[in-house]
Structure 1
Amino acid sequence: MKKRYSRFVVATMFCMAVLAFAADDGQEKNTILHQAQLKFDQTGKTPTEIKFAGAQQPAVATFFQEYQKYFQISGDNQIQLYRSSYDQLGAHHRHIQHYKGIPIIGAEYILHEKNGAVWYANGRLVHDLKMDVAPVLSEAAALQAALRHIGAESYMWQNEANEAFLKRERNDANATFYPKGELQLTSGRAEITAANMKLVYRFDIYAAKPLGRYYVDVDAKTGAIVNQITRIHDVEVNGSGASLYNGTVAMRVDQVSGSSYRLQANDNTVRGADIRTYNMNNGTSYTNSTDFTSSSATGPWDDAGVSAHWGAEATYDYFFQKHGRNSLNNAGFTLLSYVHANLVGMGYPNNVNAFWDGSRMTYGDGDGVNYFPLVCLDVVGHELTHGVTDFSSNLIYSYESGALNESFSDIFGNAVELFKENPGQESGFPLARWRVGEDLTANGLGIRNMQNPNEFSDPDTYQGAYWYTGSGDNGGVHINSGVQNFWFYLLVEGGSGTNDVGYAYNVPSLGLTKAAAIAYTN
């Protein structure tokens, strides 16, 4: 079906209508009502986008009351504020739809506000939902079904040392890895419609051996597994790399005593968040990790520990200085990095990996031949951006939403690197700067190429060459990320051509600052 785009369309992104209100023949309709432009979903019941004229912008507090008739949802539904974030463009208020008090996964509406008024709103809601939300299974029975599904040899909460570690890490005597079920409504991997909704218990299950962390959704009526979503977001390569040595770098460290220092920055006098970096000593237990220490603030230090620690500082600085964000959650989240992890012992096929697990960063040492410790700046920025995404959106880590999740990490990992190593430059970057992980690979080619995703058999076009449709790699999250990666490259550097599906494009260079601002607010 041919699409007509009204303005500012980046032809290579293909899967997103960037600031444009599109009309799909016969399926979506645009309406100008009270000087607001509304774009409706395929049912014609919910505006998926509303753009308001300057003089007619409603107040945040009364938005849903004023526009309730356009959302057409019954009295059993509530729209509840979930989270607010703030940047140079104003405030962004994320709301989640609840049915009979139970949240609906994926049913969200975001109000973008400036000076108390809503200038833009977007999202989707579920209509005509009529179902019983009383569970048949107990939470305990549902948890046993989830554990049978995961089938791990051991779990984090079964080890007292792990439980003690978590309490110490969070400074919370009640913290535990033991999963608690939360009733939610979800369509699983099907389309988010009333017909596909199921009442589930959602558990956050952290397996110790083999290592894995997952959301598991168990049908609260039947005990069937509705969905499993990995929470560990990692850098995947084919088993080879090169370490990044940045020379002498400035960083904050903690003076424990007169002649004892460690890689921690806990005073909050320079940054609004603590940054702590630990040595796993080629082990598998976070509990047995130790401080990186030195007898002098200027070292000698462990090089990989310095790279991870400095990279975490650089990532914090980038998001704070460029987007006004105070750490991952915009509220001073502590940045925890664990270096020299034995990933093979944790269940990975090799040590060529790094991952964010929802709470902390873990870095492998590579294979020492083709890949070296995965602590280069863009990889550190990449993994910590997964944390930003976790706290900012509900991009489920599978299939297309997972590819967007991965791409945002590539984008901002790259932005952190450019911010630190090419300060003040807006465009015209060396092509090597558009490679992901180029510094950790022995051949200097990296693991992905944002300027030319096809080099690594990744697509640059939605459903074009190399587009992945299988279930491996969580539905191709590291592969199909190439589409949005190329989009970002074009926004920064500009470019023209014809894409794989026959669309001609000519994109002017916006420069890094504007391109990153667009990506950040997407």
Structure 2
Amino acid sequence: MNKKNGVLGFVALLLFHQLIFAQSIGNILSSNQANNTSLIRFDNKTTVFSEQQAIAYLKSLSGSYKRTSFENMEPATMDQYGIYHKKYQQQYKNIPVENGVIILHSKNSIVNSVTCNLKKNININIYPSISKAEALTFALDYVGSSEYMWEDQAEEQLLKKIKKDLSASYFPEGKLCIYDKKNKYNLSKYYLSYKFDIYSKNPTQRQVIYVNAMDGSIIYCYDKFTDASAVGETRYSGTKTFETLHSLEGYLLRDNTRGNGIITKNLNFLGEEFGAYCTNIPYASAVDYVDDDNNWSAQEYDNFLKDNAAIEAHWATQVTYDYFNENFNRNSFDNQSAPIWVYLNPCENYENAFWDGIRITIGGGYLIHDNFACVDVIAHELGHAITGAEIGDHDVIYEPGAVEEGISDIWASCVEHYVNPNRNIWQIMDQISLNSYCERDLQNPKQKGMPDTYMGQYWINELSNDNGGIHTNCTVLGHWFYLLSEGGTGVNDNGDFYHVEGIGIEEASKIIYSTVTNYMTPNTGFEAFKQFTMQVANNMYCEYCVAYTSILNAWHAVGLGEPVSYYESYLMVDQNLSNIENIFAASNIVEANSHIYNGSGIDFVSGKNIIFSPGFHAEDCFLKASICACGEIDNTGYKSIQESYSETEDIQNVSPLKEKDVAIFPNPSRGTFSIQTPIEQYSVKIINSRGQEIYSNNDNNQNITIELNTEPGIYFIKITNANSQYIKKLIISK
């Protein structure tokens, strides 16, 4: 036979196969490829593919039709939708192709799609030049361990017991395969290889090694212990679980499961002290923390070098990553999987930590602080990293610098709450103090000589003082966030009374994150940040919602803006309205106890509830009642009242008590107050700002004293007798 004609005949046959399949594959719906794996979907309405036909089609795609085959790897499985999934191993001249796997997905014996990691255009010599035994020698020389698991008879016997197989062994049998090693251009280059699974005992590690079957060179090696869950004693947070990396040296404080990694390293105090600063830090000389058994115990690491601080830092960085990932779907500080490098011990006696745009550097402390590797410091520094990633290069002086520091303090409190909500999350760096104090207190900034009011007491304006007081003035923003989260009542440095209803730290953090990522610019000061948060609030809530009013009132509390006086948290509507147009009663909760008639118009708008109390009466008027919940409006519609409308029977003779008839003192009160009135028999009800009745007494006689054990805030006292009533606001302060 003419060799040339034979080649031409084979090419013609291959083209024939591809042509036949091309004609019947007009039914491919899609072929989406990612990481060299594609999903091919077939349109079964035009052509029905059996498993054999689907495999033949894949062979036609391989570029080596006659030399490619597929061996069934395991029995087919069926899912809850009745679809069978069958896995095959690709082979070239009956030699397995590493990672060459296809999965046929079929129903009623008809293939509707294929998951395909097909290795194409293989054309290599399949006859090895070295033996398997010689290849193993090359592999063991590469690993270089002093002892292997198969050399320990106790380990061998335990394996047989675990596997329930008397022939089981750790000894690396090795197998011949074809390995696809891609070059830097992601182009395939195939090698005939011996694959060995080598389990070492000293050091403990397990590696898969591919040895070139032609010359004994090592083509590729990977560690089967790449990511390990470790247990260790942190410096401040007790026993924690965290991710490490197993290498030839041992277990390292490296985590490859989050983004592109979290790497914690030791600078061994190689930097130079320069007053309170650390200079000439040799980051390239940093070394890994290494443990031999992945049990990072206090016995080993709670030493004079404070090595357990590295465990704390590594774990704290992981949980900070997790906080932003779980709550905001953020992947690392840049949201693009950037690795997070953490360096400890830059120089002796260094009492600081910082983010330099590339990495976190953590000082070991000295006279005032212990090692700075605590959760709130790590979260604070990664907060800087996130802000920098969002707004780019910026000056860190005066108000913009204070705003950024405030944001980082906020994230410190949020991550601490995420890790342990039972701690005092509002104190910054309290865990590392050697003198039982914190650096900043967001709940009570003045306790640390820092401002809680914009431009108020302790505010710093001089550039020479901490770049314009960025680490001092920042507590204004932190205190705003505290009040927004927890609520509070008091008087600020401007002499303004404030009351804020807390919305919870989880809800408040959403406002901060959206503000930083969507609105903030490099020169954002306090007023601009306030406006940005209000825009975010406008996007998230309606203006009658508790959250919206709380944001405004929290800004008022720290000296920025007016309180929400247009509508209150709880509003009683009890006056009789006649011949009045467009009365607007807005609140989070509205209780209507009035008479409305003769052409009046009233619009009740509430963030929570509208309550028509007994005695409410409307006649020949225009009434609208609507509830504006967070993010949506539930409008009960307009109601034109032509006939009598009452919640209960009309009580036309009810008249309000006058101010002079009732005295309530002291008001504000710390919880104990008195009521004096000439009325002999009356009932008292006290209602909180959420519309909940917290006190009731129906048998009172003139002068009484009430003691309330309740939270600070605004309350409403309702006094009623047979033909009169009185409603008064009561303020409970700290």
Please say which structure displays the higher CA radius of gyration: 2
**Bigger RCO (CA 8 Å, 6+ sep):** 1
